[in-house]
Every structure is written in structure tokens, then in C-alpha cells.
Amino acid sequence: MNNRQTRILLVDDHAVVRTGYRALLEMNPSLVVAAEAATADEAYAAYRKHAPDVVVMDIMLPGSSGIEATRRIVTFDARARILMFTMCTHPSVVQQALEAGALGVLTKDSSPDLLVEGVCSIARGKRVLSRHIAESVAFSNYVPESKLFGYLTPREFEMCRLLVSGHSLDQIAEYLNLSPKTVANKLSTARRKLGVSSDIELVKLASEVGLVPWVTERRLGLDVMTTQDAGDEVSI
């Protein structure tokens, strides 16, 4: 009989949120939080140091995103098991997370039990999506504009996210270890793919997807789940 606990790395930029997740997860005797991180760089370093069984990762982090952290972790360890736990539910964002290597995506308005079940499923190597996310991804095939950000490469997506979050070209270059000229060129390519001609148009488009932090935070305070099954988990 294997009594080994599943070791978890929690990644969220709010300490009080991490404290709540830790308390919730450790109510299950088979789970233990081995480490915490508040940024993408901290997440990557913590993964290398602690080698957790599962990473619970927010997408919207200060600086580089949880998607970029996922990409780096999976590049380091292709067996990494990462669950995105986020308020960003747009199909394009979910697609980028899954393509970066995440095994699942749950919304932060999921029930506590679903988070615990999701972590346990990911630990077993299963893929997990909130029912709401699974439905939005499925229907995105019939709404072409919902897939726009999915046409970007992971680096183009990350640069756009950083730009609309208020970072300068120099800051983006520093975060991603690239030259400002390379960043400018890739952003130009991204705008062309998205069909926008200015940063203002890019911000407007990104706000509709949930990539603009202050817009996402306002929605988090206003949105109320009205359907009973909106948080149900779908395991694959």
C-alpha cells in the first residue's frame, strides 16, 4: 500500500490566496504543499529545487505569466504535471496554456472539492477541464474571433500579454531574455496576425479575452456564477 503524499507547488501572486489553497488542499491527508511561489521566475526555481508532483498555477502573475512559467518548467521536465487555476477562461488563453504543457485548467470559481479532485486527477496523469471551459473551447470552433490569440506563438502571446499589462519594450525584453528590437519585431508580427494596427486596438482586443489585469480584476468582483454545473470538472 502506497501512503506517499502528493507534493504540490502553489503559484499565485497573492499570499492570502496561497494560504487559503494550502489550508484547503492539506485537509486531504494525501496532499501536502511542498513549496509556494508568487512569480514565474520563483515558480521555475521552486520546481527545480523541490520537484513537486503537481503544480497549481495561476495564469495572471506579475511579470511573466503562468503560461510562460509552464513552458519553462515543461522544457526543463517534460513529465511535469501542471494544473492552471485561474479566472482567465477565454478559449485562446486556455489553448495557450494547454499548448505550453498544462494538463488541466480549472476556474477559480470552481467548488473547493473540484480543486482537490483536480489535483488528484492531475497527479494520476489525467487531463482536467472545468465544464465551463470545456464547453467554451468546444464552441470556439464555431466562433472564429474567439480563436484569434490562439494563432500567436507562445512568445508572441506572452509579449502581447506583457504589453497590455503596462510593460515597456525594454521590460518585456528583460523578462524574456530578448533584445528590445526582437520584441518590437515579434509584436509587429502579432498585431498583424490579430488584425490590429495599434496598441490601443490591441488592448481593446485583449480586454475582451481577459488578458488586461485591471479589467479581469473588475470582472472578478462583479461576476456571479448562476448555473449549478458551471464549475463541474471534466476529466479526460
Q: What percent of the chain has pLDDT over 70?
A: 84
pLDDT of residue 226: 32
- Within its chain, how far is the Cα of 213 from the centroid? 13
pLDDT of residue 186: 94
Q: How far apart are CA 234 and CA 84, in angstroms?
A: 14
pLDDT tens across 11-51, in order?
Answer: 999 999 999 999 999 999 999 999 999 999 999 999 999 99
State residue 4's pLDDT score: 86
Chain position carrying cell 488578458: 211
Mean pLDDT on 184-188: 95
pLDDT tens, 95-113?
889 989 999 999 888 889 9
Cβ-based burial of 71 (10 A; exposed 0-12, middle 13-18, buried ≥19): buried
How far is Cα 17 from Cα 74, in angstroms, rounded to an integer?
25
Q: All 3 cell numbers of residue 160? A: 502581447
Task: Please give the pLDDT value at position 145.
Answer: 57
**With 70 as the cut, is the pLDDT of residue 151 above it?**
yes
Q: Are 156 and 206 in contact (CB under 8 A)?
A: no
Contact (CB, 8 A) for 119 and 8 = yes
Residue keyed to cell 494596427? 197
Count the Cβ atoms, other than its own, within 10 Å of residue 184: 14
What integer pLDDT is reported at residue 213 of this predicted model?
Answer: 59
Partners of residue 86 on adjacent β-strands? 107
Model confidence at 217, pLDDT cuts 50, 70, 90, reads very low
Full-prediction pTM beyond 0.85?
A: no
- The pLDDT-based confidence of 81 (bands split at 50, 70, 90) is very high
Q: Is the pLDDT of residue 131 over 70?
A: yes
CB neighbour list of residue 86: distance below 8 Å, 6 or more residues apart: 58, 59, 60, 66, 105, 106, 107, 108
